[in-house]
Structures are given as structure tokens and as C-alpha cells.
Amino acid sequence: MSLFGDLFSDGPVSRLLAIHGDTISYKTVAGVVTTPEAIYNELVGAMDDFGNAVFTVSTDASIGIAAPERGDEITFQGDKWVIVDVRDDFAGSAELRTIRGMEVS
């Protein structure tokens, strides 16, 4: 593994999620639901009036989402977010660009 991978692979990602992560409900297009930790990017949410947000999740299947994809859904603090783009950093995490869907009770 590269130096970048050693510094930013699963170990640091796990620690980052443990400190800054919140539990989300994650539903795949196929209907499988899990409850991983994710980091909600508050800066994007605070500055975006259109209902867009960015979440970061681990791509280690034992603690996160191995293969996030467009159309999967996140429920966070009562709101449903639909994934519109996935950017994998290839070092243990993925950035999920989402748009807010209808409210979930």
C-alpha cells in the first residue's frame, strides 16, 4: 500500500467516524438496510439552499458501505437523502453527494 493509503486507510477512517460520525440508516436500491456511521458535512448543508448535502462513509463492508451507488438512500435526523454521486477516495472512504428527499417520520 502507498504512504497515502497507510495514513488514510481503514484505521484512521474508523477513528474519524468514531469521533465525528453519526449513525445513519442506509438503504440500498435493492432494499437492504444497514446502520453505519457517517460524517455529515455541515458546511455544505449550511451553505446550500437547494437541499444538497455531502456524507462521508467508510468503504470497509465491516463498518461501512462497500459499494455505495446512485439511488441508495440515507436517513439522517429524520430526513431522507438520495445519493446522486459517489466519489471513492480509494483509501478507505467515499464521499456521497446527496439531495434531500421527502421527510421520514
Write the pLDDT tens digit of every residue in 32-65: 999 999 988 876 655 566 778 899 999 888 888 8
The structural architecture, per CATH, of the domain 3-103 is Beta Barrel (2.40)
Output the furthest CA–CA distance in the chain (Å, rounded): 44
Does the global pTM surpass 0.85? no
The identity of residue 30, as a single letter, is A
Q: How many CB atoms lie within 10 A of CB 7?
A: 11
C-alpha cell at 64: 461501512
Spatial separation of the C-alpha atoms in residues 96 and 29, rounded to whole Å:
15
Give the residue extent of every domain in the chain: 3-103
- Sorting pLDDT into bands at 50, 70 and 90, what band is 1? very low
- Does an H or E element contain 77, and which? none
CA 104 and chain centroid, separation: 18
- 59-70 pLDDT, tens per residue? 888 888 889 999
Spatial separation of the C-alpha atoms in residues 44 and 32, rounded to whole Å:
27
- Sorting pLDDT into bands at 50, 70 and 90, what band is 15? low
